[in-house]
Chains A and B, each alone.
Chain A
Amino acid sequence: MKSVLKKGITSHQVFWPLVGLALLLLFNAIFTKDFFLLEIKDGHLYGSVIDILNRASVLMLLTIGMTLVIASGGIDISVGSVMAIASSTIAVLLSGKTVDVNQHLVSNISLGSALLLTLGLALILGLWNGVLVSYFGLQAIVATLILLVAGRGIAQLITSGNVITVNHERFFYIGGGFLFGFPVSIFIVGAVFLLTLIFIKRTPFGLFLETVGINRVAGRFSGLNVPLVTLICYSISGVCAGMAGILMTSEVRSSDPNTMGNFIELDAILAFAIAGNSMAGGKFSLSASMVGALIIQTIRTTIYSRGVAPEIMLVVNAVIVIIICSLQSERVKTTIARYSWTQGTAE
C-alpha cells in the first residue's frame, strides 16, 4: 500500500516543482531574516510569504491561460498587451467626478458594469486570437504577434497616451484589500484556478485539450471539434489577461499603457516551462504551472531580499530558461529514441 502511495505522489507532475519551491523556501528560511514571520496588523496578515503570494497573483492568472494555450499546441504572446488594454479600459471607465469634500469619486459607470465591460473586451480579444489560429490556420506566434504590436497602441489610444491615476475606493479592494486576513488577490487567483481546474477535470475539456495537443489527427478521427477546443483556450487566455490587467491596475492604482505588462508573457511562458510542462503541447498540469509561477516570484523576492540589483532578475530568468529548455530537449530526444525503438517494423 505504501509503495503504491509513494509511486502515486512522486509520479504526479507537480511533485518536482513543489520540491523546487520547497528548496527555495528552505534557502530563505535559513538565509533570509524573518522570512516566515507573519504579523497581524489591523486584522491583516503581513509577511514575506504573503507578499510572494500577492505579487505572484498577476503572473498566476496569466499562467493559467498560457498553460491551456501551449497545451493545445500553440502560444499566446499578446497577453501583456491585452493586460494593457484591459488596464486602460477599466481606468477610463472608472474615471468620473469627485463630488464632495472628502474626495469621494462618483464614477461614470458602476464598478460592476466597468468590470463586465472590461472582461468582455478581453474575451473578444481572446476570441480574435483564437479565430485567427483555429479557423484561419495562422501560426500561433504570428497571429498573436499582431495583437502584441497593436495592443499597446490601442491601450495608448484609450488613455490618449496618458498615465491615468485611478481613484475608486471600492476598486482598490480588489488589488489591495483583505479578506479573512489574506489579500483579496489570493482569493481571486484561487477562484479562477479552481474554476479552471473544474472545467478541465470535471468536463471533457481537459481530455479533449490533451488529445488535441498530443495527437490532433486522432482527435479529429474520434469526432472532436478540434478548432473549437483551440478557440476556447485562446478565449480563456484573453480573459485571464484581462483579469490580470484589472488586478494590477487596482494594485498600483494607475494605468500606464506604455509599460503595463511589458514582456510579462515571457514570465508566463517561463512559469509554464519550469512546471515541467512540454512546450510542444499535450499533457499538462495546471497545479504545476501555479507552482511554477510561485517559484519565479520566490526567486525574484529572494534576489531582491539579498540586496542584489533587480536587473539581475532578467539575467537569472535567461539562465533558467536555457537550462530548463536544454533539459527538456534531452527528454524529448530520449523519448524519440524510445519511440523509434518500438518502431522496428520493416516498412
Chain B
Amino acid sequence: MRENQDLLVMKNITKHFPGVVALSHVNFDLREGEVHAIVGENGAGKSTLIKVLTGAESVESGEIFLSGKRIEAKSPHHAQSLGISTVYQEVNLCPHLSVAENIFIGRQVMKSGRIDWKEINKRSERSLARLNIKLDVTSNLDEYSVAIQQMVAISRALDASAKVLILDEPTSSLDKNEAENLFTVMRKLKTEGIGIIFITHFLDQVYQVTDRITVLRNGEWVGTFDTASLPRLQLVAKMIGRDIEAFHGNAFAPGDQGEADRAQHHPFYQGTHIGRKGTIDPLDISIAKGEVMGLAGLLGSGRTETARLIFGVDRADSGKTFVEDQEVAIHSPHDAIRLGMGFCPENRKTESIVADLTVRENIILALQGKKGLREFLPRKVQEELANKYIQLLNISTPGCEQLVKHLSGGNQQKVTIARWLATQPALLILDEPTRGIDIGAKDEIQKIIVNLAKEGVAVLFISSELEEMVHCCERAAVYRDKKMIGELGKGEISEQGIMQMISGGHGGPAAGANEP
C-alpha cells in the first residue's frame, strides 16, 4: 500500500480578503489512498482553502506541493490538468448534454477531423464501470438523479487523470442509499491510490468513511487527527472552539419565568410531522409566545430548512400545521405573514436586503406587503416608523433615506429585523442573525431578541454559535444530518448538553468507523 506517500502538501497558507482574514497559516496534507475530511463551521475557511488549491483564488502566501513538486494552479481548469479535480455540490456539468459528452467535453476524441462519438461512448462506459455503474451514456445528463450525476462528475475527474479528488459537500442532496454508494466508490478509489478530500458537515459520514480529519476554525488550522482515535465530542468541541473542561454550564434564563410558564401551555405555532422529501425528515415542533426557542446544530443539519417550511417558503409534503390551535395551510410567505409571522433569512444579501432602496423603504416593506396595494402608508408614517426603529435598534445610518447598500453588515441585519418588528409579529424567526457581524452589534441583537420574548413575541432563533444559543434560549431543538434528534428543555440548555446531543452522546469514537 502506498498509503504513507504524501500526495499533496499545503504549507502555511494565508489569504486575506478586504477586511477579513480568511486563512491564517493553514497546513494541510493528503496522502495517496486516503480519504481526508476537512470540517469547520461557517467562516472556518474550508472553501477558501479549496479555492486556493484549485486556483479559483490566488495564493497569497504559502506553498503547495503535489507529489513533491511545487505547484500553483492558475484556474480550476489548470488545476485539473495538474491532476486536481473538484466535484461540487451543484454538480457543475451541462444537463442537456449526454452523459458521455459530459465526461469528455473539452477533451473529445477526434478521428479524421470529426468527433468520434463511438469511441467517446465506449470510453465513458468503461469510466463508469470503474465506479460500478452501468447506464445509457447517450441519454441526457438531466434524465438521471443528482446521485448519478455526481458519479458522472467523478468519472470526468478520474478520466482527466485526477490524483487528488475533492468532493465538496457531495452528500447534501443524496439519500442514505445513494450516500452509501458514494462511499463504496470512494473506498474503491482509495485502493487505486487516489487521494480524496472530503468536505462535509455530516459528522456520521466523517466517521463512516474517512481516515483523517482536519479541523479549521476562523481561518486557523486547529489540527489534523486520525479519525479512529478522535472521539466525537472532542471533534465537535474543536469545531466550535470550546474546551470541554472549560464549560460554565449555566444557561441564562431570560425573562420572567412565570410568564414563560404560562406561555408554555399555549403554543402559538405547532407543526406535527412536517417534513419535505429530500430536504428534511418529518419532525414535530411547537413554539410558544413569550419564549425564545432555539434550533441548534451544525451547519446544514436542517434548521434553516425547518424555518423555511414554517414560513411557507418551501411547501411541506407531510404533516399538519396549527396556529393558535387552528389548523392552517401555509403555502407562501404571504400566508405566514398574514398569520402573524416574520422571517429574517440566513442570506440577508440575496434573500432580504433590497440593496438599492432606502432604509425607510426596506423597513416598511413587509408591513406594506401585508397591507397590499389598497392601503398605502403615508410618507410621514413611513418616516416615523423608520426613525423609531433606527433609534430602537441603534441602526447607524445618516438618516432613513440612506440607501441600504451603503450600510455595514450589522446595520443591514438590524434593518431586516426592523422590517419584521414593524409588522408586530406574533412569531419571529431569525436565522443566523448575528452572522458576519461585529461583537458590539452581536450583543445588541441578542438583547433585542431577549426583549422581544419578554414582550410576548414567540421567537425561533437559529444560530451555530453555542454561546448565543445558551445565552438567549429557554428551549432548544437539536438537529443533526437533516433530522431533529432531540429537545432540551428549560434548565437543560448548556453548551455541554447541546454538544453532546449533536455528537450523538458518544464518549469515544464511533463504532465501525473505517476499514483498516
Contacts and interface: CB of A to CB of B under 8 A. Distances in A.
A341 interface: yes
A210 B350 CA distance: 15
Nearest to A202: B376
Interface string A212-247: 001101111111110000000000000000000000
Contacts of B368: 204, 207-208
Contacts of A282: 356
Nearest to B311: A221
Interface in B118-145: none
Kindly list the 5 A-B residue pairs having the minimum CB-CB distance in the complex, ordered from nearest: A223-B369, A346-B22, A223-B337, A344-B17, A222-B366
Interface in B342-371: 343, 345, 350-357, 361, 365-366, 368-371
A283 interface: yes
A347 interface: yes
Contacts of A343: 17
Contacts of B365: 207, 211, 218, 222, 224
10 contacts: A204-B368, A204-B373, A204-B376, A204-B377, A205-B373, A211-B354, A218-B352, A221-B345, A224-B334, A347-B46
A227 B403 CA distance: 26
B504 interface: no
A207 B338 CA distance: 20
Given A223-B334, A223-B366, A341-B18, A218 B376 contact: no
Given A204-B372, A220-B333, A223-B334, A346 B353 contact: no
A346 B356 contact: no
A217 B356 CA distance: 14
Contacts of B357: 207, 210-211, 214, 283
A215 B43 contact: no
B44 A346 contact: yes
Given A203-B376, A208-B368, A218-B365, 6 more contacts: A207-B368, A217-B350, A221-B311, A346-B22, A346-B47, A347-B43
B505 interface: no
Contact of A210 (B19, B44, B338, B356): B356
Contacts of B345: 221
Given A203-B373, A207-B361, A223-B369, A346 B354 contact: no
A102 interface: no
Contacts of B12: none
Contacts of B334: 223-225
B208 interface: no
Contact of A215 (B42, B44, B313, B350): B350
A345 interface: yes
B219 interface: yes
B413 to A, nearest CB: 13
Q: Which of A202, A204, A219, A223 has the most CB of B within 10 A?
A: A223
Contacts of A220: 313, 332-333
B45 interface: yes
A215 B46 CA distance: 29
A221 B352 contact: yes
Interface in B278-334: 311, 313, 332-334
Contacts of B343: 221
Interface string B81-121: 00000000000000000000000000000000000000000
Given A222-B333, A223-B333, A223-B366, A347 B47 contact: yes
A217 B353 CA distance: 10
Contacts of A345: 17, 20, 43, 436
Contacts of B446: none
Contacts of A347: 42-48
Nearest to A199: B373
A122 B355 CA distance: 35
Nearest to B218: A346
B232 interface: no
A346 B353 CA distance: 20
Interface in B2-57: 17-20, 22-23, 42-48
Contacts of B44: 346-347
Contacts of A346: 17, 20, 22-23, 43-45, 47-48, 219
B19 to A, nearest CB: 5
Contacts of B377: 204
Contacts of A283: 356-357
A221 B351 contact: yes
A204 B371 contact: yes
A214 B48 CA distance: 29
B382 to A, nearest CB: 10
Contact of A217 (B48, B351, B436): B351
A346 B13 CA distance: 14
A15 B330 CA distance: 46
A7 to B, nearest CB: 11
B169 to A, nearest CB: 11
Nearest to A217: B351
Contacts of B48: 346-347
Contacts of A341: 18
A281 to B, nearest CB: 11
